[in-house]
Amino acid sequence: MESAHPTHYGTGNRQAIHAIRDMLGKQGFIDYCRGQVIRYVWRLGAKDDPAIEAEKIAVYIQWIRDTLAGRELTVME
């Protein structure tokens, strides 16, 4: 399976998703993740391999959980 966070999403030791979270704030980031979940569920199987899309859904849900719990984002390699 391809990485959920290819190297082109990062700059140095920082992933783009961390910058997005910082810019949007807690609720804005949760809303962003919810939107991504809706997008991937809506098109599940219509664009990419459904297993890959399901993994992306799981990542965004984990980021919501991390944010609500006040944890650092879980970034899968």
Domain edges within the chain: 25-77
Judge whether residue 44 has pLDDT over 70.
yes
| Cα(21)–Cα(57) distance, integer angstroms | 17
Name the band, by pLDDT with cuts 50, 70 and 90, for residue 25.
Answer: very high
**In whole angstroms, how far apart are CA 51 and each of 29, 43, 68?**
24, 12, 26
The one-letter code for the residue type at 37 is V
Strands 14-15 and 10-11: antiparallel
Q: Report whether 33 contacts 63 (CB < 8 A).
A: yes
Whether 35 shows a pLDDT value over 90: the answer reads: yes
Q: What is the pLDDT of residue 11?
A: 54
**Residue 14: band (very low, low, confident or very high) from pLDDT cuts 50, 70, 90:** confident
pLDDT given for residue 17 in this prediction = 94
pTM higher than the cut 0.95: no
